């Protein structure tokens, strides 16, 4: 066997006289060497093979495409960008406000003129701004000439009455004589004609007296109705002409605003609708009195006559703005603070179910009492960011504070 051959080659020759006990250690040592050498050789071969294998793998990896690395673990959810307040889009009655502006004018401005011409102004009894009552004296003209003409007419009446009495007495005597046939028929007819002439003269005299009295009354210019003097155009000593303006009155001290409204909104205005008149910091509650039947072809504006209350404090000629409030209609609204402008268009951040916001363009309409009408881009019940919207970006995660939205809670429950 191989072990024996190997042992025979390595063992040295010994003498015949060697003792048996001295050979035992020498025989054990070669057996241990025989097992060590193959194991060491195998280890060396294994190490070399592993090194070669690593080199082969490395070279193969260099020749091939790089191996895709394992995907990194998903990052943790980012913290909320901002704490915000939200509000739901709800439907509420909202009136379409029709805006117009114009000047304050008198409801009716009466121009009082002189009926008698060529007379001197003797007295002006009022000043601009004075309130007047019906029948109150405004201007008195010199009346001496007209008074004399009236007296002459009165005297002519007396003369005509006396002539009429004489003619009537002559007629009575002629009738009695005619019955006894003591007077001719011709004399009776003459007496009848004379009596009729006397009656006509008396009527003419009375007419002249009435004319003189009327002209005399024209020297006292009286107010035809209650009102306020808006303008006085004559002074004492001036000589009037027929029809000359002497005083202007605001009838019943009633003022109104002639608001000019664009033609597209003119059809929504009706008499009796409420109006909010704005003049500086002053707000006046008024009412539409009438609507003009036509629209100006040049300006495309129609006039709405707005009746102002007596305590408005406005004066004719002032410029004011009118907000006409037609009948209210339901509209989808959001708070005004939720609307912001991006790229020149109105938009709002809409809150989704995962507490993220999305920037959504909106179409808006009327604005009233802190609410804005949304005509497109939003559904009823959707929540929009009210506070902090200016610091957000599209897709940000937010933390909602405040009272929860019941509608949103119902939607989340339905999805679960």
Q: For 379-397, write each residue's pLDDT tens digit.
A: 999 999 998 777 888 888 8
What's the chain's length in residues? Answer: 416
pLDDT at 367: 82
pLDDT at 9: 40
Rounded CA-CA distance 100/299 in Å is: 13
Contacts of residue 300, defined as CB under 8 A and 6 or more positions apart, other chains included, come to 262, 263
Identify the segments of the chain with pLDDT beneath 70.
1-81, 178, 180-183, 185, 402-416
Cβ atoms 96, 268 nearer than 8 A: yes
Structure tokens at 300: 């495309």
pTM of structure: 0.54
Q: Nearest to residue 260, comparing CAs of 67, 98, 82? A: 98
Rounded CA-CA distance 44/183 in Å is: 194
Cβ atoms 236, 122 nearer than 8 A: yes
Contacts of residue 366, defined as CB under 8 A and 6 or more positions apart, other chains included, come to 94, 95, 96, 97, 331, 372, 373
pLDDT at 172: 81
Structure tokens at 373: 């009408």
């Amino acid at each position: 066997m191989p072990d024996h051959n190997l042992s025979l080659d390595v063992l040295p020759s010994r003498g015949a006289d060697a003792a048996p006990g001295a050979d035992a250690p020498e025989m054990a040592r070669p057996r241990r060497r025989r097992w060590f050498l193959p194991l060491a050789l195998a280890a060396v071969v294994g190490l070399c093979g592993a090194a070669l294998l690593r080199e082969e793998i490395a070279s193969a990896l260099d020749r091939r495409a790089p191996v895709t690395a394992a995907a990194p673990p998903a990052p943790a959810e980012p913290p909320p960008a901002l704490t915000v307040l939200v509000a739901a889009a709800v439907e509420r009655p909202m009136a379409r406000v029709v805006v117009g502006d114009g000047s304050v004018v008198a409801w009716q401005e009466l121009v009082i003129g002189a009926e008698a011409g060529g007379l001197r102004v003797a007295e002006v009894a009022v000043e601009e701004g004075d309130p007047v009552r019906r029948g109150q004296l405004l201007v008195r003209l010199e009346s001496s000439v007209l008074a004399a003409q009236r007296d002459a007419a009165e005297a002519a009446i007396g003369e005509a009455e006396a002539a009429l009495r004489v003619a009537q007495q002559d007629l009575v005597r002629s009738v009695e004589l005619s019955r006894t046939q003591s007077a001719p028929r011709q004399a009776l007819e003459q007496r009848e004609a004379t009596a009729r002439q006397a009656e006509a003269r008396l009527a003419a005299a009375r007419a002249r007296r009435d004319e003189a009295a009327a002209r005399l009354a024209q020297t006292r210019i009286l107010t035809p109705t209650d009102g306020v003097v808006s303008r006085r155009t004559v002074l004492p000593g001036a000589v009037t002409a027929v029809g000359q303006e002497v005083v202007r009155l605001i009838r019943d001290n009633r003022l109104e605003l002639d608001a000019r409204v664009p033609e597209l909104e003119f059809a929504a205005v009706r008499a009796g609708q409420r109006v909010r008149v704005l003049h500086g910091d002053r707000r006046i509650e008024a009412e539409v009195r009438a609507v003009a039947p036509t629209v100006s072809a040049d300006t495309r504006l129609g006039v709405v006559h707005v009746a102002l209350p007596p305590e408005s404090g406005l004066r004719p000629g002032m410029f004011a703005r009118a907000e006409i409030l037609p009948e209210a209609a339901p509209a989808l609204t959001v708070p005004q603070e939720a609307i912001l402008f991006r790229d020149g268009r109105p938009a709002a951040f809409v809150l989704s179910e995962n507490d993220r916001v999305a920037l959504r363009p909106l179409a808006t309409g009327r604005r009233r009492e802190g609410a804005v009408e949304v005509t497109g881009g939003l559904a009823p019940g959707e929540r929009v960011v009210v506070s902090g919207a200016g610091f957000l970006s599209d897709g940000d995660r937010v933390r909602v504070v405040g009272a929860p939205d019941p509608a949103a809670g119902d939607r989340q429950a339905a999805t679960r």
